[in-house]
Amino acid sequence: MCDYSLHAVETRPAEVAETLVSTNFSTGTGGFASPDDPKVAVCLRPGTEIAFENEVETGGMMFRKSVGDRLARFRQIALDKPYRHHDALEFSNGAIVLVTHLTVGQRATVLQLPASPIEEKPQVPHPAARYETADV
């Protein structure tokens, strides 16, 4: 998924083993892009696992804070609040960080995509076939 504020930006889904870089888009929102195509937002599905090259930092140029971890799972938070950012990373140390708060330029690799749910169709019993013969 890509946050609501990235709907004005071209997007595509993430792929396993690809490298992503945290960036700011023309909308002013932070997200992920490919280093080869920085204007296209790469969307992650909830459950996607990523590993950063270095410990993750949040904040801007002057006030940065280390998360103290490199491994994260993408998730969405505060879905009941429509005008807030929802895209977040939950790190293995328990920290939850909005994607838009990531410091620009951090590189990560997509380790694993979530399994797609299998759509189960309800089993409708079919009546036994009846064959009638015509009287001749």
Give me the pLDDT at residue 117, please: 59
pLDDT of residue 131: 47
pLDDT at site 83: 85
CA atoms within 13 A on the CB side of 15: 5
The conformational region for residue 79 under phi > 0 = left, psi -120 to 50 = alpha, else beta, is alpha
In this prediction, the residues of the chain whose per-residue pLDDT falls under 70 are 1, 61, 117-136
**What is the residue extent of each domain of the chain?**
4-112
Q: What is the pLDDT of residue 5?
A: 74
| Residue 134 confidence (pLDDT) | 57
The confidence score (pLDDT) of residue 135 equals 56
Q: What is the pTM of this model?
A: 0.81
